[in-house]
Every structure is written in structure tokens, then in C-alpha cells.
Amino acid sequence: MRAFAALLLLSACASVFTPAPDERLAGCWIERSGAVATTMRWFASPQQPGSMSGDLLRYGGGSEAPLGQQYTLAPVDDGWRLCRTGDQAICWPVAQGRSGSLEGGLAFIDRYGERLRISVVDGTGETELFDGGRDGCD
């Protein structure tokens, strides 16, 4: 009986629910590093139902105006796609428990409680886009 109970507990731990990427991103986040603060805000996109729009703003570091980048997260046929929009537009498929080629890069969206980390991994290594904690949306 004890073996059965242990097996049942082990299987419950193995089937942990992981929210979809849009649920992991939703809301406001902040990263503070010395005199620099970076905020990231994610909200439902009014232009694309089912998609999210994100704004990343970097304050401080000798710059008067915040430096910003815009992102989108949208569902696609085989999962999700994270895109940086604007002059340096680029898109990456979001890794969701799958393996495969890193050609062109894979986006990783990891949320641990009140922390959010977004990075892109490609053949040359990892580029961190954001790593910060939950913030109020004001």
C-alpha cells in the first residue's frame, strides 16, 4: 500500500500544470540593476484577438528618455511566436517542452512565481531579453 501511495504522489508531481505563454506574461514586470530600471508590460492586443502586446522600457544609464522596444506574442499553428517589432523586427518560436533545431533561435518564457525571464537561445548561445519581478500596473 505504501508503494502505491508513493507512486501516486510521484505521478502527481510529474504532471505539474504549466500555463500557456500568454498567461505567464500577462501584467507588469520590473528589473532593477543599479541606476538602470527596465519595465515590461504585457496586455491583450486589441488589434489581434488572442495575442499579447508587450512594451519594454529601459530607464536611466545616462539616457534622458527611456529606450524602448515593442514585442508581440501570438498563437500560431504549431504553438506560439514571440516577435520584436519595429526597425529590428525578428520572430522566434516559443519553446514549449519540445526539442529541435536552434536555427533562427527559440524563445523561452519562464515564470517562477512572481519572476519572469524571457530569453532567446540560438546556435551562438543565449540572449536574455528580460529578467525581473512582478510590478504594479499604474
Q: What is the mean pLDDT of residues 96-110?
A: 77
Q: In what order do the strands lie in the sheet with 106-112?
A: 90-93, 79-84, 63-76, 52-60, 36-44, 27-33, 125-135, 115-122, 106-112
- Detail the DSSP E strand segments found in the chain: 27-33, 36-44, 52-60, 63-76, 79-84, 90-93, 106-112, 115-122, 125-135
Strand 125-135 versus strand 79-84 pairing type: unpaired
In this predicted model, what pLDDT tens digit does every residue of 105-117 receive, in sequence order?
899 999 988 999 9
Mean pLDDT of 11-20: 53
The pLDDT assigned to 65 comes to: 67
Which residue, 86, 131, 78, 70, is CA-closest to 106? 78
What is the pLDDT at residue 34? 81
Among residues 60, 43, 45, 33, the alpha carbon closest in space to that of 131 is found at 33
Question: For the segment 60-91, what is each residue's pLDDT rounded down to a tens digit?
Answer: 866 666 778 999 999 998 789 999 998 889 99
The answer to whether 56 touches 39, Cβ cutoff 8 Å, is yes
Domains and CATH numbers, the chain: 19-135 (2.40.128.360)
pLDDT band at 93 (very low <50, low <70, confident <90, very high): very high
% of the chain residues with pLDDT over 70: 79
Could you report the per-residue pLDDT of 18-72, keeping only the tens digit for each?
677 778 888 999 999 888 899 999 999 888 888 999 999 988 866 666 778 999 9
Based on C-alpha coordinates, what's the Rg of the chain? Answer: 18
Q: What's the whole-number average pLDDT of the chain?
A: 81
The three cell numbers locating residue 62? 545616462
Confidence of residue 7 (pLDDT cuts 50, 70, 90): very low
